[in-house]
A and B are shown apart, each in its own frame.
Chain A
Amino acid sequence: MDLFLQLLFTGIGIGAVYALVALGFVLIFRATNVVNFAQGEFSMVAAYLMVVFAVDLHWPYWLSFLCALAGMALLGVIFNLGVYYPLRHRSFLPVIIATIGASILMANSVLAIYGPQPQVLEGWFETPGIQLGPVYLDSQYLLIIAVTVALVIFNYWFFERTMLGKKLQATSQDKEMASLLGISVSSMIMITFIYSAVLGGLAGILVAPVLFVSIQMGSTIALKAFAATIIGGFGDVAGAVVGGLALGIIETFGAAYISVPYKDGFAFLVLIFFLVFRPQGIFGERVAEKA
C-alpha cells in the first residue's frame, strides 16, 4: 500500500506537468485548428528566463517569476505575429511546419545565447518535501498539482463566466460567425497565443526545479503532453487535464509493476489504443459545434 500511494502521488505530479503543457496545446488548437509544436519550447524558454532573472541577476524569486511570465506573454505576441498570422489563410499544414521551425529556432537560439550547460533552479519552497506517513510528498510536485487544480477552476470560470472567455470560445467555434457578431477574431487569436505561451511558461518554471533547466526539457515534456491531449480529446480543456493525469499515472505504475525501461512505451501504447478505438479522445472534440 505504501508503494501504491507513493507511486500514485508521483504519477499525479508528473501527470499535472503534462496537463499544464497540454492545456496550451488545446487552447491554441481550439482557436486556430492548428497544433502548436513549439508549445514545449515555451516551457524551456520560460525556465531559462527564470534562471537569468533569479540565478544570474539575483532578483527576488517572485519578481523573477512575474518577469518570466511577462516575457512569455511577449513571446506569445511575437509568435502569433511572426509564425501564425502570416500563414493564417493557408491550410493547417504550412502553419504546423512553421511551428516546428519556430521550435527549432527557439531551442537553438537559447543554445547559442546560454550555452549547452544544464542549469539548476531552486524551487519556491526551502523545504524540499514533507513525509506524510509512508509517503514522501515533494513540495514542488505539490505546488504543480495545486496550480493545475487552480488553473482548471480558473479556465472554467474564464471561459464560461466572462465575456472575454465567451468571445474566445465563439472565435474557436466559428470565426466567420464571431466576426459577424463584432468580435475581433485576430485579437482573440492574439490573446489565445499569449495565454498559451504563459501557460507553457508556467509549466516550465514549475517543473524546472525537478527536471533541471536544459534545452531538451521542453521537447521531452511536450511529446507526452501531446499524447495526453489526444487521449483526453483534442480541443477539450478538461480532456487535457484528465489525459495528462492519466498518462502520468499509467506510465508510473507501468514502470513500477511491469517494466521500467518500457515506461515511455506504456504511455504510447495507450496513445495508440485511443487513436485506433477512440480517436476523438475521452471527452471528444465538439465537432458538431464547429460544423
Chain B
Amino acid sequence: MKLTRRDFAAGLAVGITAPYVIGSAARAQGATIKIGMCVPVTGPAAEQGLWAQNGAKLALAAVNKAGGVLGKQVELVIEDDQTTNPGIVLAFSKLAAQSDIVGFLGSIRSTQVHAMAPDVLKLGKPVMIGGTDPNLTHMGNQWLFRFRPNDSYSGRVIADYGVKTLGKKKWAIVHSTDAFGTAGGKALASALEALGSPAVLDQGYANQSQDFTPVVLAVKQSGADVLGTYFTFENDLGIFARQLRQLGVTIPWVGSPSVVAVSSTKLAGPALFGTFGVADYAEDSSDASKAFGKIYRDAYKTAPDNQSAWPYDAITVLSAAINKAGSTEPVKIREAILALKKFPGAEGEYNFDANGDGLHGYNVVKNEKGTIAFDKHIEFND
C-alpha cells in the first residue's frame, strides 16, 4: 500500500485531534470530580511533597470509599511545583487550564502561595493552602482556605510556653528570610514584646545554607537562655541543630513545626532531643488525629506529620463542602467551607472564619529521645 502525502496529512490530523475529541466526550460525561494539587515532586522539598501526596491519597481513598462526591468518584490531578515560585505558578496555570477541576491544593510554603495568589484570584476557584504567613488570608483573596493555624498563633504559643512554662526571658530568634520565616520571626518577636521579654537576638539566615557556624556563634554571644526558631527546610534545621550542640549551645529550644517534623527528627537525631515544638499535627491531641496516625502508619509504615496531615484534611473538607453545597460552583463551595463548624480533622477541629482560616490554635510537643510526645493544646478565640 502506498502512503500518499494526503493520507499522511489526514492521519496526522486524526491523530492530533482524537485525544481532544475523546477527552471532551469524557469530560461531557463528567465521570469523576477532579481536584488539582500543586506539590513539590522535585527540588529541595520533594520529600515533603511525597508526604503531602501520601496524605492526600489517603483522604481520597476514604472519600471514594464513602461514596465519593455528588455521587461520583474523586480524582486527584498532580502537578510538580519544583519547590520554586515560578514552578508553582506554572503548575497552577496548567491545572487552572483544566476547566473540570473544581478545587485545588496549593502549597505549604507561604512564599509559593504568595506567588500563585494573583492567579488564584483571577481564576476564582477555591484553593486549600498550608502556608502559615498570617498575611495570606488577610490580603483580600477570598479563594484561599488555610488548613494550618497561622503564625500569629504559633508565635504566641512559642512565646507563651517559653516565658510562662519554661520561665525563660532572654530569647534568641533564628528564622529563615523567606516569607514564612520572616513572618514567623516577626510574630514571635511581637508576642515576646507583649509578654515583656523582647528578644536579645533576631537572626535571619538564607535557605539552603551549608554552614550555620556564624548563626550559632551569634546565639552563643547573645547570652540568650532560650531559643525560638522558624526553619523552612528540614535539611537546614538538621545542620543547624548539629552545629548548635557541637559548639556547646544547650539552652532550651522551642521551634516552629519543622523542629518536630519527621525528617528533622531523623536527620538531626540526638541533636534535637529535649527540644519543644509547636505542632499543628500531634498524634495524641485528638481522636481524629489518632485515627489519621493509625491509617497513615498502616499504609506507609512511618509516622505522619503536618506535611501529610493538612492535605489529608484539605481533601476531606473540600469533598464534604462540595457534598454539602450540592454543587461544584465555586461560590457555593466557598460558602459551604466557611459554614463548616466543629469539623474534626487530623490537624484539629476546623472552624473557618471569614478570612478562610480553619484552625486557631497549636499543640505543644516535646522530642523525647526521638519520639514526639504531646504536651498540651493552646486555642485562641481571635
Contacts and interface: CB of A to CB of B under 8 A. Distances in A.
Interface string A120-137: 100000001100000010
B214 interface: yes
B217 A256 contact: yes
Interface residues of A, number: 33
B266 interface: yes
Interface in B200-237: 203-206, 208-211, 213-215, 217-218, 221, 234-235
B50 A138 contact: no
Contact of A136 (B209, B235, B248, B269): B248
Contacts of A260: 203-206, 214-215, 218
B204 A116 contact: no
A120 B47 contact: no
A120 B211 contact: no
Contact of A128 (B41, B203, B208, B246): B246
B373 interface: no
A129 B271 CA distance: 14
B377 to A, nearest CB: 29
Contacts of B213: 6-7, 10, 252, 256
Contact of B46 (A116, A136, A261): A116
A111 B238 CA distance: 20
A114 B177 CA distance: 30
B295 interface: no
B247 interface: yes
B289 to A, nearest CB: 23
Interface residues of B, number: 34
A118 interface: yes
A256 B218 contact: yes
Contact of A220 (B49, B177, B210, B266): B210
A3 interface: yes
A167 interface: no
Given A116-B47, A220-B210, A212 B235 contact: yes
Contacts of B204: 260-261
Contacts of B239: 210-212
Contacts of A215: 42, 46
A285 interface: no
Nearest to A115: B50
Contacts of A261: 177, 204-206
- Among A14, A116, A138, A215, chain B packs the most CB atoms within 10 A around the CB of A116
Contacts of B267: 118, 120, 212
Contacts of A17: 210
Nearest to A216: B44
Nearest to A257: B214
Contacts of B177: 261
B64 interface: no
B266 to A, nearest CB: 7
B210 A221 contact: yes
B214 A255 contact: yes
Interface string B291-322: 00000000000000000000000000000000
A9 B203 CA distance: 22
Interface in A1-50: 3, 6-7, 10, 14, 17
B263 interface: yes
Contacts of B266: 120
B247 A118 contact: no
Nearest to B47: A116
B210 A211 contact: yes
A117 B203 contact: no
Contacts of A212: 235, 238-239, 267
A278 interface: no
Contacts of B247: 6, 136
B214 A214 contact: no
B214 A117 contact: no
Interface string A94-131: 00000000000000100100011110100000001100
Given A118-B47, A136-B247, A214-B235, A7 B217 contact: yes
B214 A14 contact: no
Contacts of B47: 115-118
B205 to A, nearest CB: 5
A219 to B, nearest CB: 10
B331 to A, nearest CB: 37
B206 A118 contact: no
Interface in A205-254: 210-212, 214-216, 220-221, 252
Nearest to A13: B211
A260 B236 CA distance: 14
Nearest to B50: A116
Interface in B238-272: 238-239, 246-248, 263, 266-267, 269
Contact of B269 (A14, A120, A129): A120
Contact of B246 (A3, A138, A214, A256): A138
6 contacts: A111-B46, A128-B246, A136-B248, A212-B267, A215-B46, A216-B235
Given A116-B41, A260-B205, A261-B205, 5 more contacts: A10-B213, A212-B267, A220-B210, A252-B213, A261-B177
Interface of A: 3, 6-7, 10, 14, 17, 108, 111, 115-118, 120, 128-129, 136, 138, 210-212, 214-216, 220-221, 252, 255-256, 260-264
Interface of B: 41-44, 46-47, 49-50, 177, 203-206, 208-211, 213-215, 217-218, 221, 234-235, 238-239, 246-248, 263, 266-267, 269
The 7 closest A-B pairs by CB, nearest first: A116-B46, A256-B214, A255-B214, A10-B213, A116-B47, A261-B177, A261-B204
